Amino acid sequence: MKAVYFVGAGGIGMSALERYFLSQGLVVAGYDRTPCALTEELRAEGADIHYEDNPDLIPEACRDPQETLVVYTPAIPESHRELTYFRQGGFDIQKRAQVLGTLTRSMKGLCVAGTHGKTTTTSMCAHLLHESAVGCNAFLGGITKNYGTNYLLDKKSEYVVIEADEFDRSFHQLRPFATVITATDADHLDIYGTEEAYLESFAHYTSLVQPGGALVVHRGLKMQERLQPGVRRYDYARTEGDFHAENIRIGGGRILFDFVSPLGNIADVELGVPVSINIDNGIAALALAQLAGAGEAELRRAMATFAGVDRRFDFVLKNDRHVLLSDYAHHPAEIRQSILSVREVFEGRKVSAVFQPHLFTRTRDFFKEFADSLSLLDEVFLTEIYPARELPIEGVTSQLIYDNLRPDMAKHLVAKSQLVEALKHSDTDVLIVLGAGDVVDLMPALKAALEGGEVVAQPQ
C-alpha cells in the first residue's frame, strides 16, 4: 500500500488516522464538504484535501486500486460520486472503524466506549500513559490541550488508546485488550431503533475483548447482566466499586481524591480539570492506565497536568464578573451531568446555557429528556437544530424542547444569528454553550461581548 484516500477527511476521528498514515510516509489525500481549521492543518502537514465531490480531483497517486486504501465515514451518502468511483474501480474500501480494528489486532488496544465521557476519558488515559514509562499511541475524538492534536505516536509502545464509537456499530470492529464502558443511555435510535437493540450492541462489544483482557464497567448500567464471560471484569463508580474514589475534596478551584484500586491505591490525586464529572472519568482513565502497567507516582503527576480537551468543559473566560465555557454535551444525560458539575463548582451563582440541538432524530426521540435536563438551569437560550447529516423532519424543531421546559424558568427561542445580541440583554453570569454543532463558532463573539461589558453580570 502506497496511498490512503479519505472520503470525509475533515472529521475529528478521520483526521487522527490521516496523521497516522502521514507518519508512516504514505500519500494521504481526501475529500470533505467544507474547509475548516482541521483540514487546513492537515493540508499543512502534507495531506492533499479538496472540497468538491468530483472524481477528476482525486490525485493520480490514489488511482491504483492495488496500492490505495480508501477510508470513509458512515456520514457520507451512498450517492457520493467519489465513493462510487472507488467502488466501481475495485478499491479496498473500509470504514474508519475497520482500520482502527486492524490496529487493535496488531497492538494492545485500550478502548473507551459509552454514550458520554468517551473523549475526556480516552484523552486522560492517553495523557497518563504518554507521561509514563509505558507510553502509548492514541486516536482520540477531540483535540487535547496538552498536545494540540487528536493523535499521539509512540513507536516503542505496544499500546494504542482508542475512542470506541457506538454510532453505526463502529465499535464492533475493535478487538480491545482492555475497555471501559462509561454509560449506556440510549442514543442513535435512528440507527438502533430501540433501547434494547442499543444495549445489545454494547453487550456484543464486550464479547470482543481479547482473551486475557479486561472489562471495566461503570456501576449501575442497564447492560450489566448482559456482560460476556471470559475476561477479567471490574466495576467502578465515584464512591464504590473495584475502582473508586475516597476522601474527595472539592474547593478553592481544586478537586483531590484518593484512588482506590485492586491494582494499588493512589493517595492525593488532583484533577487538572477540576469539574466533578471528571472524578468518574479520572477513575476510569486511571484504571486503564494501571492495567497497562503505569506506576503510582507517574499517574499522580500526570493527572494533575491533564489540561483537558477542546469543547469538553472548555473554559474560554473566567473572571470575577463572568464565566464562559463550551461543552460538547449533546445528549440529555450528558447535559444533565454538565449542568450539575458547573453548579457544584460555581455554587450560588446564576447558571445559564445556550443549547443547539444536534440532529432532528435525536430531538424527536428525546425532546422531553432534553427539557428535563435543561430545566436544571436558571436560564436557557435555544437555537435552531443543527442538522449534520440529516434532512428536516416535519414538526421537529427546538419548539418541542421549549414547550416542555420548566414553566417558571427564563427561556428563549433565538436564531443562532441573533444569539449574541440576545445575550446583551441578559444578566449573564456563568454561561455554558452546549452542543455538538456549529454554535461553537460564536465563542469568540460571546467572549468579546462579555469582556467588553456589553452583558451585565448578575450581582453576587
In tens, the pLDDT along 282-327 reads 999 999 999 999 999 999 999 999 999 988 888 888 888 889 999 9
Is residue 250, in this structure, part of any structural domain at all? yes
Residues 8 and 125 in one domain: no
CA distance 170 to 174: 8
Specify the 3-state DSSP secondary structure of 430.
strand
What CATH number is attached to the domain comprising 8? 3.40.50.720
User: Is the pLDDT assigned to residue 26 strictly greater than 50?
Assistant: yes
The reply to whether 364 and 234 lie within a common domain is no
Answer yes or no: is pLDDT of 51 > 80. yes
Q: Give 456's pLDDT tier (boundaries 50, 70, 90).
A: very low
Q: How many domains does the chain have?
A: 3
Cβ atoms 42, 49 nearer than 8 A: yes
Cβ–Cβ under 8 Å, residues 330 and 362 = yes
Clarify whether residues 298 and 318 are in a common domain.
no
pLDDT at position 224, please?
Answer: 58
Neighbours of 249 (CB within 10 A): 12
pLDDT tens column, 417-429: 999 988 887 888 9
Same domain, 133 and 270: yes
Both 136 and 7 in one domain: the answer is no
Answer whether residue 377 shows pLDDT above 90: yes
Do the domain assignments include residue 336? yes
pLDDT computed for residue 455 by the predictor: 40
Domain residues for 213? 107-304
Question: Is residue 248 very low, low, confident or very high in pLDDT (cuts 50, 70, 90)?
Answer: very high
Is the pLDDT at 57 greater than 70? The verdict is yes
141 and 89 assigned to the same domain:
no
Residue 10 lies in a domain: yes
Which three three-digit cell numbers place residue 219?
456501576
Mean pLDDT (whole number) for 361-369: 95
- Specify the pTM: 0.79
Whether residue 237 lies inside any domain: the answer is yes
pLDDT confidence of residue 112 = 97
The stretch 10-31 carries a mean pLDDT of 93
Q: 189 pLDDT band (50/70/90 cuts)?
A: confident
- At 337, the pLDDT band (50, 70, 90 cuts) reads confident
Position 457 scores a pLDDT of 37
Give 350-403 as a DSSP string: -EEEEE--B-HHHHHHHHHHHHHHHTTSSEEEE-PPB-TT----TT-STHHHHT
**The domain boundary residue, chosen from 95, 122, 144:** 95
* Whole-number pLDDT of residue 139: 92
Q: For residue 69, which of 21, 103, 107 has the smallest C-alpha distance?
A: 21
Task: Verify that 152 and 252 share a domain, yes or no.
Answer: yes
The last residue of one of the domains, among 95, 122, 145, is: 95
Same domain, 22 and 71: yes
Same-domain check for residues 257 and 339: no
**Phi and psi at residue 222, in whole multiples of 5°?**
-65, -20
Whether residue 111 sits in one domain with residue 86: no
- Alpha-carbon gap, residue 29 to 48, rounded angstroms: 4
pLDDT value at 389 more than 90: no
Answer yes or no: is 139 within a domain. yes
138 vs 74, residue with greater confidence: 138
CA atoms in the 13 A half-sphere facing the CB of 176: 30
pLDDT number for residue 229: 62
Q: Angle 51-32-84 (CA atoms, 0-180°, nearest 5)?
A: 95
Average pLDDT, the chain: 91
**Quick one: pLDDT band at residue 69, thresholds 50, 70, 90?**
very high
Query: Is residue 26, in this structure, part of any structural domain at all?
Result: yes
Q: What is the pLDDT of residue 162?
A: 94
Do 294 and 351 lie in one domain? The reply is no
Give the pLDDT band (50/70/90) at residue 82. very high
Are 149 and 271 in the same domain? yes
| Domain end position, chosen among 247, 271, 304 | 304
pLDDT tens digit sequence for 133-163: 999 999 998 889 999 889 999 989 999 999 9
